[in-house]
Amino acid sequence: MEKLAYYFDHIQPWERSVIIAGGLVLFWMLEGVVPLVRFRYRKVRHAGLNLFFTLTTIIINFAFATLIVRASQYGSVHKMGLLYVVHMPLWLFTVAGLLLLDLIGAYFIHWLQHQVKWMWKFHLIHHSDVWVDTTTANRHHPGESVFRAVFTLLAVVITGAPLWLVFFYQALSVLLSQFNHANISLPKRLDKAISWFIVSPDMHKVHHHHVQPLTDTNYGNIFSIWDSLFGTFAYVEDTRSLHYGIDTYPAEEEHNRMGKLLQMPFGKYRPPAGGKFREREAAEGKGSEDVLVD
């Protein structure tokens, strides 16, 4: 564990870039070998659109980098934050830090964006993708990237996480997001076993179903424990039956055009078309063999 801490304490910017690009290339290749769904789409064009939003996210994260670094250094030097309430061995310190950073910097802000209308309008860009693959992990409106950066900063302030732990968390967050968005088919038993601890591909695909209530489940990014703990976990046995995208933006000229996506948060709010209908189905017990909500 000391070697891991040393590595991320001295990690270079180019090494962090390799981690991001390496994960993307790996899962992109796996999608061609073991795809969950055989999409009929222009894969390279789709990736180009989503990678544009990767660039905007990088720019915004760079703008917040100084604040995050200073907050981390101050907290770790002065032992201020939840991680210093009790003394812990390094391995437990690391696990606790990752869990708390994931809770505040990923789960909570994700959940909040599904509760607050004006924040949801920014998050729509991510959900509007009807061809969910590993590049979808990077599809966030610049406004949403600001929300996430603010909550990452908040998580660092609350926990007092040292810089090496912040960098380790960010690397895991990127890789796990690319993994659970990837259009890959794992053996069902393996996927279920994974979902007990971390967010698996099948688990996260449920979140990308186009109507409620499934859209409002499985908010986790790294750890699935938060969904289980807060009652937002859902599992669908046949993930191939899911319909990706969002019911309020079904037209391709809206969900597959950069200009339209950038303008989406500033348009008139569209209430979910399928939400009440889906809830009525669940109340009547229809589809209960497929949808399991804990």
Count of the separate structural domains present in the chain: 1
Do residues 98 and 168 lie in contact, with contact meaning Cβ atoms separated by under 8 Å? Answer: yes
Domain range spanning residue 51?
A: 2-293
Among 5, 159, 155, which residue's Cα sits nearest to residue 76?
Answer: 159
Lowest mean pLDDT among 41-50, 160-169, 280-289: 280-289
Q: Which amino acid is at 181?
A: H
Among 163, 178, 179, 181, which residue's Cα sits nearest to residue 127?
Answer: 181
Confidence grade of residue 274 (pLDDT, cut at 50, 70, 90): low
pLDDT of residue 136: 96
More confident site: 209 or 293: 209
Q: Tell me the sheet residues that pair with 235.
A: 292
pLDDT for 119-151, tens place per residue?
Answer: 999 999 999 999 999 999 999 999 999 999 999
Percent of the chain with pLDDT over 70: 93
> Does position 277 have pLDDT exceeding 80, yes or no?
no
pLDDT for 17-50, tens place per residue?
Answer: 898 889 999 999 999 999 999 998 899 999 999 9
d(CA 265, CA 254): 12
Do residues 248 and 273 lie in contact, with contact meaning Cβ atoms separated by under 8 Å? Answer: yes
Token code pair at residue 85: 């309430």
Do residues 23 and 175 lie in contact, with contact meaning Cβ atoms separated by under 8 Å? Answer: yes
Angle at 102 between CA 100 and CA 103, to 5 degrees: 65
State the average pLDDT for the chain. Answer: 90
